[in-house]
Structure 1
Amino acid sequence: MTNNSSLDAGKSSGRLINDRVIFIQVLVAVLLCINLTLILTFFMKEIFYTNMRYILFANTLFSDCINIMTNVMLLFVYFSVPLQTWLCLFFCHLSSLCNYVTPLTLTAMSLERYVAVCMPLRHAELCTAGRALQVVFIIHSLSIIPYIVVFLMLLSSVTFSFFTQHIICSVDALILHRWQGHVRSAISQFYFLIMCILIAFSYVQIIKVAKAASGNNKESTRKGLRTVILHAFQLFLCLIQLWTPFIEAAVLQIDFSLFINVRYINYILFNLSPRCLSPLIYGLRDEAFLVALKQYVFCCPFIDTVKR
């Protein structure tokens, strides 16, 4: 009786995991379609790819698309498919890069809103397309640093043969010593602190301007404030994602089935959810982008006026 029950429980657990994976893949497919549509819309109008705000928005879309596609690593973990370490390093590199690119870009977008609201006369000078490309380069440079640190710590601890071994791929599999985990945690917390300070600074400064503004300026300021609030919420979810590996590592020491459940919930809440907000903030709330999106999706050639 005991053995049969265990087998039944194992089968139920397997079906549950498979159902979850199928649900995630459907959600991923929907998000990819939405993001790709928004990316194509971005290239439709010159006003978009010559404007810092939209260039940064497109950067989050590209990052989100790559991040969403790295869910293949999640599939390998669920089905216990081993990968060679060098291939696992590649997937972890993409995942780590995107995990930082999105929150850093959101921080930059909030600062752009701060300049637009609090320094309107200098906005055209400071927020050019050229400056936007420089900001994107800085964002990607900062985003790759945590992975480089993890990779260098790994190199200091293993021989070349380790990279030809087959492992169940996750970033945790590349953390071989406790001190390496502490260094990784310290980097995440440092990024977390800096981004929170910058978002709070933008929010407080825009509130000050909002209180002093009047008429049309007040409405514009309120709109900028709402955008920063949405960015802050989205950034909050992204930043929690930086902490989830440490939570999952602690849970793994307690119970493996609980670890599977926690990891599944974390992936939906803190990986996929914030990437659902990007289309909402700039895809639907932005009037110019919404007009262009309708023109592209519904093939309406008569809608060709976009407010600048």
Structure 2
Amino acid sequence: MDNLTEFPGNATSNKRLSVIIKICVVIPLFCVFLCCVVVMLHIFACHRQFLDSPRYILFAYMLINDTLQLLSSVLLFLFAMGQVKFALVFCIPLLFFSTATFRNTPLILAAMSLERYISIFYPLQRPAAWRSDRIWIIALSVWLVSAVFPLIDHSMMKHDPAVDVLSTPVICDPSVFNSSPVQALFGAAVSFLFFAVVAVIIFFTYVRILLETRKMRQDRESLSKALHTVLLHGVQLLLCIMAFTSPVTETFTVLHANWLPEDITFFYYFCFILFPRFLSPLIYGFRDQSLRSYIGKSFFCCSNRIKP
């Protein structure tokens, strides 16, 4: 009987320990990511040559988008861990913002791959929208496309009539809405369309640059760098696609593993939502020779300022 009465307390303490571990994993990584993003954006703002290149402008736009996406998703994660409840009028914009920025990432990857393709094959006949002074048109178009579909999706959501939008506190999670079969079909179709189009664009640009690399003997180094960049775009897109398979893979893991459902959900959240965003400054920033030299100088100057 003593063991039976102690069991609920042990379960509660284990659950609290699990929550603390998850928070201690997510928050430091997010802080490191935010620090890297701030340093890179500071470099872009202080050195004009980066703002004259469409590639770096798109990269800065991707960093800002990933930061906003991580900020919203980490807030939702902390609210879920702490079982924080608030009204739907505050929950819906946060969910919309998280979804829109998440859908924005693959579109930015496609735009960056197309920019590499245009800079190689049409260096002197670059379309006006892909020049550095007008690349904001591409960025704005990408943002509008990524925001339209979540707006339609959220307008189709239905909440419990007993829940007052303005006053009833709820846990901010998509499960508080009743998804109709039409809404589920629409969401699946939009996700498939997004990633199919982006995958075709990345595959097309990769193959064309690969063929051009084999043909041209001069400037082979820049072509090789562009080829590796597009390949990394494909890897990051694959990680983003895995996020949409989480309902199926989580169910499969629950049936064949001894993990708790909340631990499986956190594993997929970390691997396929957080981790691809954490990779962005490492993949596109630290491997770039020009940016890497400025990043080293920035950290070196900061360390010299701290020493006195």
Same-fold call, TM cutoff 0.5: yes
1:35 to 34, 37, 47: 37
Q: Tell me, what secondary structure is at the counterpart of 1:129? A: coil
CA contact (8 A) 1:32 1:68 kept: no
Matches of 1:51 and 1:159, distance apart in 2: 53
- The answer (yes or no) to whether the contact 1:99–1:242 under 8 Å persists in 2 is no
Go from structure 1 to structure 2 and tell me whether the alpha carbon gap of 1:254 and 1:281 turns closer, same or farther (over 3 Å shift).
closer
CA distance in 2, matches of 1:248, 1:130: 45
Deviations 1:197-253 (A, max 9, x none): 1111111111111111113x2222111101111111112112322443665588899
Q: How many residues align?
A: 299
- Partners of 1:117 and 1:13 in 2: CA distance: 54
Partner in structure 2 of residue 74 of structure 1: 77
One-letter amino acid of the structure 2 residue matched with residue 101 of structure 1: N
Q: State TM-score, norm by structure 1.
A: 0.87
Partners in 1 of 2:249 and 2:5 — Cα distance?
A: 33
Residue deviations 1:37-74 (CA, integer Å, cap 9, x gap): 11111111111122210111011111111122121111
Distance 1:222 1:43, change over 3 A: same
Give the conservation status (yes or no) of the 8 Å contact 1:84–1:166: yes
Q: 1:221 to 1:254 in 2, by over 3 A?
A: closer
| Partner Cα distance (1:259, 1:163) in 2 | 31
% of aligned pairs identical?
27
Cα distance in 2 for residues equivalent to 1:249 and 1:152: 28
Residue 200 of structure 2 is aligned to residue 192 of structure 1: no
Correspondence 1:1-308 to 2 at 5 A: 1-70=3-72, 71-123=74-126, 127-154=130-157, 161-215=164-218, 217-244=219-246, 258-299=260-301
Distance 1:87 1:55 in 2: 32
Q: Which runs of 5+ in 1 are unaligned?
A: 301-308
Query: Compared with structure 1, are the counterparts of its residues 253 and 176 closer, same or farther at alpha carbon in structure 2 (3 Å cutoff)?
Result: farther
Q: CA separation in 2, counterparts of 1:162 and 1:178?
A: 23
Counterpart in the other structure of 2:305 = none
- The alpha-carbon distance between structure 1 residues 138 and 246, as it changes in their structure 2 partners (threshold 3 A), is farther
User: Partners of 1:18 and 1:40 in 2: how far apart?
Assistant: 33
Q: CA RMSD in A?
A: 2.8
Aligned to 2:170, the other structure's residue is in SS state strand
Question: Gapped runs of 5+ residues in structure 2?
Answer: 303-308
SS in 1 for 2:156: helix
Give the 3 Å change call, closer, same or farther, for CA 155–4 of structure 1 in structure 2: closer
Q: Which moved more, 1:271-280 or 1:155-164?
A: 155-164
Is the Cα contact below 8 Å between 1:118 and 1:205 reproduced in 2?
no
Query: If the length of structure 2 is used for normalisation, what is the TM-score?
Result: 0.87
